[in-house]
Amino acid sequence: MVDLVLSQAQIRSAPQEVKEWLRTILLEELDIGLQPVGADEKEAEISLTECGFKEAGLVLEQIRNDYITCQIFFELGRDSPSDRLGQQRLRRIAIADILRHTRLADAEHLSASLVKIRDAFQTVLGNANAELFAFDHMGGLYIHGTTKRSIKALWQALMTQRTFDLSELPGMATPSGPTMPLNSRVAT
């Protein structure tokens, strides 16, 4: 274990992403709640469309040829320290965390991928006004709690699938043909 001491000047001069990360670590360590100031008011004014398990699979089908966008999509279902606060209508995800977990160097790629995810969601629903996420001025992205749980469940289903035949999962239609267990070896 390593202890780290930062001065007030170092913290003040740190990039916003570092400040957000430090804030999250401190709030988790002190167990004083992870909602940003004014989060209740923010939740009251955000109206997001829920994305169920089936819709999440169909969104994945739409974006499946873009690796980075798929990574970002699954980040929306990642567990966070705020999950300890129980079932929340809206989930806040720090944009800095998404950038760090996906190893993206800038927010430009993140923004482009979020647009692809939003467009795919709107296409799946057939509603150009459906909002999958919203943003705050503190570097946070909000999604509906149902959406987070659906994306997480889709990820878990994909990770526990025992054969290459994923056609039983929503949005994962594959060409017909024999399926192969993951643990079998192909003779060469």
pLDDT in tens, 68-99: 999 999 999 988 665 555 556 788 888 888 88
What is the reported pLDDT for 26? 62
What is the reported pLDDT for 162? 59
Q: If phi over 0 gives left and psi between -120 and 50 gives alpha, with beta otherwise, what is residue 125?
A: alpha
Phi, psi of 8 (to 5 degrees): -60, -40
| Residue 42's pLDDT band (cuts 50, 70, 90) | very low
For 125-179, write each residue's pLDDT tens digit: 999 999 999 888 777 888 998 999 999 999 999 888 755 555 666 656 554 444 4
Beta bridge partners of 134: 142
pLDDT at residue 21 above 50? yes
- Model-wide pTM > 0.95: no
